[in-house]
Structure 1
Amino acid sequence: MTRDNDTAGLSGEEQVTLRSPAELADALPYVLGFHPDDSVVMIALHGPRGRFGGRLRLGIPRVREEWPDVCDQLAECLIGGSERRGDRPDGIVLFLCQEPAEGESGRDVMERLRPLAQRLRTACGGFEVPVFEALCLSGGRFWSYVCPDRRCCPPEGVPLAMPGTSVMAAAATFAGVHVRGSLREMEARLAPLAGARAEGQERTLDMAGSRLVPKILGGVGCAAVREETLGLARRMMDRLRGAPPIADPSAADARDDGLLDDEEAASVIIGLQDRMARDRAAQWMEGPDAEAALRLWRALARRCVGSYGEHAAAPLTLAGWVAWSSGDEPSARVALGRALRVDPHYLFAKLLHQACNEGLDPELLRQCLRRDGADQAVHAAVHEELRRLDGAAAGAAPEPAGAEPPAADGGEHPERTGRRWPVRTTGPGGPTGPGASAARRRPEGRARTRRRSGGRGTRSRR
């Protein structure tokens, strides 16, 4: 689950007023920075004019029996988190996004997900926060679960606006906002290779592990392996940096894969399981290093194939960190989320995910990282920000900078007809991220070893 504090992309001064369900549906990818697939998206509204605040995204649960509990948790997460930051939502807009399965229509999807939408509305109502709009986006159309007017929301649905033709698209283009494709496409850039290429890479990882892991665990050769890992990674970055840019992400990733051979990729993947090597690699986060480092970490994550899937936690977390440090929060959240899926106990990913959700300025982390190891740096920055937020919430919460002034009519919420949803990026913080201070840290110099069920070399969870 991802929880964001501000609207993606637009700066604090830009404002777009959304007046209809159609404009809301069109705005969603610009708010998130990507087109959500198979997702529940909830956005908090604040003030009499419905300023966008915190937002939350979660994959739609496949098991219907899980829907009630998940809905309660989502409502508590978004509303409770906003309250803890001193700005309770005045309403919520809800999106259910899922493409039709084979033999299914968009309207079938809408009807199948109707109980989920209703349960989410009930869960939010339990906190006395109304859902002003609930939309289903499927098959290039949208349906409203709230609007009874067939003129604007007919039973057959309404076609989504052509990309680039709406007021939101124009404002996003003016502000330099880039929609990064669909969530599925973003995750595909980090997915492991398949086929014969994966089989060869796994054999090479076996050989690299046999050569490097005893040195790392033995301690005597650990420093030499660390320097070898970082030097090899530097040479790979230089090679990627020298390749001309390609606009198409899939073609660019395929080209990068071809520039790296299996042996060097395996050596760096195994070497990055040493925490100190990973911490030093995390310092390639800015300036001319950032783009090449991000491409390298993505490519190495794709090389973590077969039984080495959990080894991807290190390059995935590094990819998330560099993306966030470079201002690409949507890509950062995708990478960090995938890192936590392959290893839910990976401390660096947990801390970065929390920091990103808390809305920390990455510069705070960069300053700490220049002094300390990655885990310590993120942990210190997160807790410093949490103390600041707790102190602010203890007093009277002031109106956030850039918030809408009170309405001239006394601040009453307008009726649904003609409701406007101004989009601002200086809205209040969203729910807090998961605590990570209790997570266990891998001892310095301890490497991951390949998981083999019941056999030797079982991978440590530390």
Structure 2
Amino acid sequence: MTVPENKLIITSLANLAEILPFMLGHYPDDSMVLHNVGPNLIDGPTMASPLPDNPADWKEEAELFARRFMTHVQENAHDTVGEIIVYLCREPEPGQSAEQVIELLRPVSNSLTETCTQLRGSVTQTLGLVAGRWWAFECEWDGCCEGDPLPALDDPKSAAAQLIRMGYSPGRRTGEIVKEFRPAQPAAPGQLRVLDNEAAAYAAQCATPGGQEVALDVTHWLLETAIRAFRNGATDLADDMAARIIHGLQNGWACDHGIEFAEDDDLPHARRLWSFLARRCLPPYTQKAVPLLSLLAWVAWRQDDTLTARLALKDALTADPDYELAGLLVCAITDGEDPQVLLNLARETRAERLARTTHSDPTTH
């Protein structure tokens, strides 16, 4: 984001804290953020990474994240790294105070600072944002820079108010974004029963001679039927059809078919379909969402929505750290690769699949 010179006025660390969501285009719940300061402060490379669910994993993840960020900056800035600002965002869990969260984040701040310094980066500020309040970890004065409220948006002196008047938006919180694909509790009556029934029926079919091939053909046909329905304006599917697709997509060949629905005209329809199906994967079927989250991430990446893609992939790899498609997409997005490469491969795969299709049998489409 580029802000005209001499327009944004930063007079305090509180101002520095409140510009974070404007740099990212969203407020990063439960995340680490590194920002390499550019000419207008808000410019420059910025990268966010979700904090793992288990605080015991934070230090290791912080070191890996800092190395990834420094590599990215050095490769894209011809080995020149400016000042770095660290942001740590976390919302308290029930029964947890903001002060307790800050103490949990302090070692993460140290790890990020130490790793960036080892790689020739200069960290000038580390800020914690918790429950609408901010802390400056670099401040050595007791009681100073500890837990003050962020400036109100209607405060004319706030940096956020300045940016809003200039037409910029902080975007949504990540907690709102993940509602697109995370199941809402409780399940609608009968949804789990249908998932149970279809799981048994799918397993029984696959156990018969030649059954896996028949099951795959049926999944192909159901996918084509579902995407056609969503192209025509559908927003949901019958419970049994949705459950059958969820189970069928656990087959890697079926998931490859799903990757094919990524042409420009299909992107919004495929996104709604994968999100709808992912929201159906309630416990104990959470892991069944992994292919769907990966397909959603692929479509979101094609739409240049890398934030949603990263969040969906985080959920996918949390459920199955070894899922190949999710891992491939994470690496591709992190490395700044062009999604056109995967799209071209999907087109070739579709052409080969259709060449083998017996068009007279609708269950093989």
Q: What TM-score bracket applies, with the shorter chain setting the length? A: 0.7 to 0.9
Amino acid paired to 2:328 = L
Question: What CA distance in whole angstroms lies between the structure 1 residues aligned with 2:278 and 2:41?
Answer: 44
TM-score (norm 2): 0.78
Question: What CA distance in whole angstroms lies between the structure 2 residues aligned with 1:207 and 1:14?
Answer: 61
Task: Note the C-alpha offset of 1:61.
Answer: 6.5
TM-score (norm 1): 0.63
Give the match's secondary structure for 1:232: helix
Structure 1 residues 102 and 287, CA, compared in 2 at 3 Å: closer, same or farther? closer
Contact kept, 8 Å, 2:215 with 2:248, in 1: the verdict is: no
Contact kept, 8 Å, 1:143 with 1:157, in 2: the verdict is: yes
| Superposed CA RMSD | 3.6
Q: After alignment, is 87-96 or 130-139 more displaced?
A: 87-96
Cα deviation per residue 1:96-116 (whole Å; 9 max; x = unaligned)? 112234455434533553343
Give the match's secondary structure for 1:359: coil
1:167 matched to 2:162: yes
Contact kept, 8 Å, 1:298 with 1:315, in 2: the verdict is: yes
Counterparts of 1:47-58 in structure 2, within 5 Å, are: 51-58=43-50
Task: Note the C-alpha offset of 1:294.
Answer: 0.6
Which residue does 2:355 correspond to in 1? none
Structure 1 residues 237 and 50, CA, compared in 2 at 3 Å: closer, same or farther? closer
1:24 matched to 2:1: no
Which residue does 2:278 correspond to in 1? 301
Question: What CA distance in whole angstroms lies between the structure 2 residues aligned with 1:135 and 1:373?
Answer: 48
Cα deviation per residue 1:216-245 (whole Å; 9 max; x = unaligned)? 964552563244222332344146x25xxx
Q: Which structure has more RCO (C-alpha within 8 Å, separation ≥ 6)?
A: 1
1:127 matched to 2:104: no
Question: What CA distance in whole angstroms lies between the structure 2 residues aligned with 1:49 and 1:29?
Answer: 14
Amino acid paired to 1:271 = G
Structure 1 residues 231 and 125, CA, compared in 2 at 3 Å: closer, same or farther? closer
Counterparts of 1:53-452 in structure 2, within 5 Å, are: 53-59=45-51, 62-63=54-55, 68-84=59-75, 86-102=78-94, 104-147=96-139, 154-162=145-153, 165-171=160-166, 173=168, 179=171, 181-192=172-183, 194-195=185-186, 197=188, 198-210=191-203, 212-214=205-207, 218=211, 220-221=213-214, 224-238=217-231, 241-242=233-234, 256=235, 259-372=236-349
Structure 1 residues 60 and 230, CA, compared in 2 at 3 Å: closer, same or farther? closer
Contact kept, 8 Å, 1:172 with 1:178, in 2: the verdict is: no
Question: What CA distance in whole angstroms lies between the structure 1 residues aligned with 2:164 and 2:344?
Answer: 35
Structure 1 residues 231 and 207, CA, compared in 2 at 3 Å: closer, same or farther? farther
Question: What CA distance in whole angstroms lies between the structure 2 residues aligned with 1:288 and 1:123?
Answer: 44
Amino acid paired to 1:56 = A
Which residue does 2:363 correspond to in 1? none
Structure 1 residues 99 and 226, CA, compared in 2 at 3 Å: closer, same or farther? closer
1:41 matched to 2:18: no
Cα deviation per residue 1:323-379 (whole Å; 9 max; x = unaligned)? 1111211111111222222222222222122111112233343334322469xxxxx
Contact kept, 8 Å, 2:29 with 2:173, in 1: the verdict is: yes
Identify unmatched segments of 5+ residues in structure 1.
1-9, 243-255, 375-462
Identify unmatched segments of 5+ residues in structure 2.
352-365
Amino acid paired to 2:331 = Q
